[in-house]
Amino acid sequence: MTHQEYKLSYPVDTVIWNGKKIIRKDDDLIDRNLDILQECGIDEVMLAGYTDVESADFDMSNETERIGEKLRSRGMRAAQHHGLAASFAPLEESQEETIKKLIASVRYTANLNADVLVLHSGRIDRHFNTVKEYLQVYSDQVEHHGIAEVLKRNADNLHQAGEEAKRLGVRIAMENLDRFEPFADMELLPQLIKLADSDAVGYCLDSGHAHCCDVSVSEWIKIMGDKLFTTHFHDNRGSQGRNVTPGEFIPSSGIDEHLPPGFGTIPWIDVIKTLRKINYKNTVNFESGPWPDMPEKEGYQTAIKFWRTCEYLTTQKGD
């Protein structure tokens, strides 16, 4: 029996956060990573970190155009840009600058030769040193304005960014954070996507976030349906006894392990079956690296073989 093999994509770091600002990675390191992936038959990559929320030591527009051209010259493209832009400012302030930054992130995504901009919902347009600090400001916003109004403001801003995304042929995918961050669980994230009311605003499925919060990856796929634009696939060993009481935020450290598929307990064959049931045709993007304790090229080759075997096993009788 023939079976569909998904296009696959892996992360390549082109910029990093040094604790003070966004800086470019050395071109030789970028090229080495791209060389290895191309040798493994991978011609799509996940890029991340081009955002105006934090300061940078380079011109963001020029640099995204440069990286996009680097990929094109190799016959490669970006499967997605994990942009990390904020989706709202405190409600007592104007949203104008935040919307400008969102639209800029859409444009950077187009410059990078990527189809999809991945964002975290509920992110506030401020610099925070810790997640705890950010969640406290979010809680204050909900206390003062009500969760419905904060949700609506996020949706309104995303709708405006979605208009620019449609113009540029880009889609915006909001990531499920489940119990880690606001507006990202099975109750509120679908409400946000519906309120945003844009063909260009949909979902990014993060398998690891779901699984370590004791949420079914396959159920998320069914909810996201034809608005599932891209993925962050990685593995972990579940909540490991951590309290994941619905309605409460928990820290991700220690359970969001970002292991290559096969090293945790996510039922990948069930996941692939469900992707096929919703007729998912987009790239499968991994937010994990090669198998460990191997030379890097061999590690990627083994990770790819594992995934291809899972795809094949979904076609066997009795499954």
Alpha carbons within 13 angstroms on the beta-carbon side of residue 206 total: 30
* Cα three-residue angle 3-6-9, rounded to 5 degrees: 160
**CA distances in angstroms from 189 to 103, 184, 222, 241, listed in the order given:** 21, 5, 14, 25
Question: CB–CB of 77/113 below 8 Å?
Answer: yes
Structural domains for the chain? 8-313 (3.20.20.150)
Is 0.85 surpassed by the pTM of this model? yes
Residues 269-307: tens digit of each pLDDT: 999 999 999 999 999 999 999 999 999 999 999 999 999
Q: Which of 164, 266, 162, 171 is nearest to 220 (CA)?
A: 266
The Cα 44–Cα 66 span in angstroms is: 16
Residues 202-240: tens digit of each pLDDT: 999 999 999 999 999 999 999 999 999 999 999 999 988
Question: CB–CB of 236/211 below 8 Å?
Answer: yes
Torsion 58-60-62-67 (CA) sign: positive
Q: What is the total residue count of the chain? A: 319
**Mean pLDDT in the chain?**
95
pLDDT at 4 over 70: yes
Residues 23-72: tens digit of each pLDDT: 999 999 999 999 999 999 999 999 999 999 899 999 999 999 999 999 99
